[in-house]
Amino acid sequence: MNTKQKTTIMLLVAATAASAAFAAEPATKAPDSQFKWGGDIRLREVYMDNVPNRAGGEAKGGANQFQRYRTRVWGEYHPEQYKNLYVRGRLVNEWRTSQAGDIAKRWGAFDETVFDNLFVDWKTTLWDIRVGRQDLIYGTGKLILDGTPLDGSRTIYFDAAKAVYKGIDNTTVDFLAMYTYAQDPLAIHSQDRSLNALHSGGYDKAEAGGGIYIKNKTHENLPWEAYFITKTKEEGLADQINTVGTRLMPKWADGTFDANLEMAYESTPGTDAFMVDALAKWHIGGMEDQKAFLGAGWYHLSEDWDPLFARWPQYSELFIYAFGPPDGIAQWGNVSMPHIDFSISPAKNYKTDLLLGYMFAPQNNSTTGGYNRGLLFTWWNRFTIKEHLFTDKDKLTAHLLLELMDPGDYYTGTQRDHTAIFTRAELSYSF
């Protein structure tokens, strides 16, 4: 039995268990609490232009304007006779329309529907176990967040098994294993989309790995995390990547100040790489109701850094396109960015976040010989338009995002002549 067959069987076991649970008792006799369901509809308008890449041109050919339409519906079943067991499935469809560029090409209406959740979850006194297709997010997402980066935010799933050990006071230990195919074997009306390729030529195999992730809250003012993560399969990966790291989250002065400090080291035969992700925040006195803070941070990735399972926008939606070609979209590495941050909620239903960062390359791998990648500005505006429109749980939200980048001497003179821009408007309804 080959690995692909094993992966498919694992997911089918989850689906079979779900079917068996549904069949355990007639639906007409099941109380409302046993079955839960919901969904969401997300509409996006996106425009980007002048994003420079290392090869000397403009990412995605220059100007791109397109729309994304994502619909999802999910269901969970909690058997009355098994209080610690439940099964969950979620179906997703996304299609796109375009006025300029090629990002939205080959995304026709209702051409493909996928399961992005399909798992069994079982809890005991000492263990929480989840097997099947699931979302995995650890820390601030700098190493594990997105198992399917090439479909954007349509899905982020992993085909995975996770076991959480809870037998140590104030501590959890997560054991992870994932094996996610680039072309989804469970897609309905599959379009054979490559979900994790680095380059436009495509990739039809898998990304795989696993690890141990420890979370400790013994000290209220200094929770910490530590991990070992290995990646064994990736497009073009010749050797296994092993990563060790730690994350500290101190708080002091009665919560007036807090911080995040994550440090990681990667090793493959003949190669070492490093990451530092730091942010210190001052929660401004007298503005507690507005949740205002001012922060100073630094994000540093050495030249040979591999983002493992974290090829997503991280600090910038715009800058993910600057990595490819030749590196690959969202293949974060060889970038260092000190930054300042400001956040405030001047009204109950509105929050705004700003970031200003200076980016440079720790190692010179550009065609120009320069190190200065440029200035980055991001401005998020998030709105809760209305809650409880039709039900007790539904919500209508929106956001507006503006990003600008002034390219530095890492890029050619022609690239430096144009300010890069990324804008996005979103309307989302969840129920």
Alpha-carbon span 12 to 18, nearest angstrom: 10
Residue 331, pLDDT score: 95
Of residues 8, 68, 35, 32, the one with CA closest to residue 428: 68
Chain segment 265-285, per-residue pLDDT in tens? 999 998 999 999 999 999 999
Chain segment 106-164, per-residue pLDDT in tens? 898 888 999 999 999 999 999 999 999 999 999 999 999 999 999 999 999 999 999 99
pLDDT at 358 over 90: yes
317 touches 401 (CB < 8 A): yes
Residue 324, pLDDT score: 79
Range of the domain at 356: 3-430
In degrees, rounded to 5, the angle at the alpha carbon of residue 157 between the alpha carbons of residues 151 and 163 is 165
pLDDT at 5 over 90: no
Q: Which tokens belong to 243? A: 């990563």
Report the first-to-last Cα separation within the chain, whole angstroms.
42
273 touches 332 (CB < 8 A): no
Residue with tokens 């990966």: 237
Which amino acid is residue 279, in one-letter code? L
pLDDT at 26 over 60: no
The set of residues, in sequence order, having a beta carbon less than 8 Å from that of 291 and lying 6+ positions away, is: 283, 343, 344, 345, 351
Query: Mean pLDDT in the chain?
Result: 91
Under DSSP, the state recorded for 368 is S
Under DSSP, the state recorded for 183 is S
Residue 201, pLDDT score: 73
Residue with tokens 């983002």: 307
Total structural domains in the chain? 1
| CA 24 to chain centroid | 36
- Rg of the chain on CA atoms, in Å: 22
**Residue range 16-25: average pLDDT?**
34
**Residue range 255-265: average pLDDT?**
97
Residue 3, pLDDT score: 43
Which amino acid is residue 344, in one-letter code? I
pLDDT at 99 over 50: yes
390: number of CA atoms within 13 Å, CB side? Answer: 4
Q: Which tokens belong to 15? A: 């689906």
Q: Which CATH number do you get for residue 50?
A: 2.40.160.100
Burial label, 420 (beta-carbon count in 10 A; 0-12, 13-18, 19+)? buried
Of residues 193, 341, 189, the one with CA closest to residue 280: 341
| CA 33 to chain centroid | 31
pLDDT confidence bin for 33, thresholds 50/70/90: low
| Its pTM surpasses 0.85 | yes
pLDDT confidence bin for 15, thresholds 50/70/90: very low
Chain segment 48-85, per-residue pLDDT in tens? 999 999 888 899 999 999 999 999 999 999 998 898 99
Helix (H) or strand (E) holding 415: helix 413-416
The share of the chain scoring above pLDDT 90, in percent, equals 83
Alpha-carbon span 49 to 321, nearest angstrom: 11
Residue 232, pLDDT score: 97
The set of residues, in sequence order, having a beta carbon less than 8 Å from that of 2 and lying 6+ positions away, is: none
41 touches 421 (CB < 8 A): no
Under DSSP, the state recorded for 34 is G
